[in-house]
Amino acid sequence: MIEAILLTIATAATPLLLAALGELVVERSGVLNLGVEGMMIMGAVAGFGAAQLSGSPWVGLLAAVCAGALFSMLFGFLTLTLATNQVATGLSLTILGLGLSGMLGESFVGLPGLKLQAWAIPGLSEIPLIGKLLFAQDPIFYISIALTVAVWWFVFFTRAGLTLRAVGDSHVSAHALGLRVIRIRYLAVLFGGACAGMAGGHLSLVYTPQWTENMTAGRGWIALALVVFASWLPWRLVAGAYLFGAVTIAQFHAQAQGVGIPSQFLSALPYLATIFVLVLISSNRRMTMRNTPASLGKPFVPER
């Protein structure tokens, strides 16, 4: 019973971790992309559709990553090249993604999906309690853990990561030093979109291998909150993602056990937890400002 719960928590946490990792890199560059939900849902429909048409979930996963990346380039063109308002553009991107995915996925509703099968390591996967949790997971789970380590190493232990943080902290100073601010931000936005697309692909190829309209169900917004929760530190994202994954799964188990709480309240529990965490973090302004990129959300136009 405990093993099954842990497995479902890991599955629920993986798309949150992936989307939040991508957004963390984006925000470290000084860009605020509120379109994570839109990129995730486009990744979900592209992944499911490509898997159906090709007969391969791996082709579906690649399509999900590409869809998220392409959608992020639309955001990048509008906010970085045309210098539109980042908040308004991100919200518009989410609305566009939800509507466009519903139209593109209309013919996929009700079709059985193709699932990415778990990779079981012989011997290790038989270890009681942790065997299946750590050594018999789907490939995207392992990718999410590897990406967490890679992002942590990149941001804090490489010259490119230092450049990324410099651009996020002061794009004017970075530009004065000869750094190509717009190009660096484009690359960060592209990475964030690819991660969000992969997170959406996980939903339609692993979590629930099918297509239903609006299947992201607000996970993109939770991923945005996780970045603040983690104070822009990659290793804290893991704890935050699995905490919110546990809250999400808890509502299902509570409903299955017939707990005398209205189902509507249980369904809202993950989002109530998000609000509670954000309020808690906001009460400690010193902790909030410690790692916040100083140029976050501010447009940069070199000619001005």
In 3D, which of 167, 226, 182 has the Cα closest to residue 77? 182
Least confident of 74-78, 91-95, 195-199, 291-295: 291-295
pLDDT recorded at residue 227 = 92
The answer as to whether 116 is a domain residue is no
The residue ranking higher by pLDDT, 250 or 1, is 250
Q: What is the pLDDT of residues 121-164, one digit of tens each?
A: 777 777 877 777 787 889 999 999 999 999 999 999 999 999 99
Which pLDDT does position 203 carry in this prediction?
95
Tell whether 67 is covered by a domain: yes
Stretch 158-180: mean pLDDT: 94
Residue 218 lies in a domain: yes
The answer on pLDDT for 236 being more than 90 is no
Average pLDDT over residues 158-176: 94
Residue 168's CATH number = 1.10.3470.10
Which of 73 and 278 is assigned the larger pLDDT? 73
pLDDT at 260 over 70: no
Give me the DSSP letters along 242-273.
HHHHHHHHHHHHHHHTT-SS-HHHHHHHHHHH
In a domain, 192, yes or no: yes
Q: Which H helix or E strand runs over 14?
A: helix 2-28
pLDDT for residue 221: 92
Query: Domain span at residue 67?
Result: 2-109+122-290
Q: Is residue 304 pLDDT above 60, yes or no?
A: no
In a domain, 224, yes or no: yes
What local confidence, expressed as pLDDT, does residue 147 receive? 96
- The mean pLDDT of 179-184, rounded to a whole number, is 95
Burial annotation 248-284 (CB, 10 A radius, 16+ → b, else e): bbbbeebeeeeeeeeeeebeeebbebbeebeeebeee
pLDDT digits (tens, 9 = 90+) for 72-124: 999 999 999 999 999 999 999 999 999 999 999 999 988 888 898 888 877 77
Residue 299 lies in a domain: no
Which pLDDT band holds residue 282 (cuts at 50, 70, 90)?
low
Q: What's the mean pLDDT in 211-230?
A: 91
pLDDT of the residue at 135: 79
Work out the mean pLDDT of the chain and round it to a whole number.
89
Answer whether residue 42 is part of any domain. Answer: yes
Q: How many domains does the chain have?
A: 1
How confident is the model at residue 272, as a pLDDT? 79
Is residue 259 included in any domain, yes or no? Answer: yes
